[in-house]
């Protein structure tokens, strides 16, 4: 599974004509507390039932708090024939530390 660092993701979001889908799989209270703007929120346990909302041909970067839950979901998507999936290394916590220091951390 491909890992993407927070700084690599920032560069991708700034430069890409076709931006990746940011799939945030944290719980609702976590997502309400902080998030990367424009991300799609589907809690981890709802992903299998909502798979139809995701385009298997689009680049997807999966996000959670520290990168463990998102790695599980990224692996699941790859097993479901999604081709271009990456895990945000270090999760939203690393994003806040490396890219957006104004973002609340927990």
The predicted-structure confidence for 8-40, as pLDDT tens digits, reads as follows: 999 999 986 789 999 999 999 999 999 999 999
Residue ranges making up the domain that contains 37 = 2-98
Q: Is 34 part of the annotated catalytic residue set?
A: no
Catalytic one among 42, 64, 71, 92? Answer: 64
CATH number of the domain residue 43 falls in: 3.40.250.10
In a domain, 103, yes or no: no
105, part of any domain: no
Domain count for the chain: 1
pLDDT reported for residue 65: 98
Q: Helix or strand or coil: residue 61?
A: strand
- Whether 39 maps to a domain, the answer reads yes
- CA–CA gap between residue 60 and residue 87 (Å, rounded): 9
Question: For residue 37, is it within any domain?
Answer: yes
Tell me: the pLDDT tens digits for 47-57? Answer: 999 999 999 99
* pLDDT for 12: 92
**CB count, 10 Å around CB of 80?**
13
pTM: 0.96
Q: Is residue 79 part of a domain?
A: yes
């Amino acid at each position: 599974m491909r890992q993407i660092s927070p700084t690599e993701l920032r560069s991708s979001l700034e430069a890409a004509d076709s931006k990746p889908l940011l799939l945030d799989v944290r719980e609702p209270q976590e997502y309400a507390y902080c998030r990367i703007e424009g991300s799609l929120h589907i809690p981890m346990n709802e992903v299998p039932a909502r798979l139809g909302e995701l385009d298997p041909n689009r680049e997807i970067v999966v996000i959670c708090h520290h990168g463990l839950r998102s790695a599980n979901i990224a692996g699941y998507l790859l097993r479901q024939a999604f081709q271009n999936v990456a895990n945000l290394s270090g999760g939203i916590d690393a994003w806040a530390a490396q890219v957006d220091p104004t973002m609340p951390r927990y």
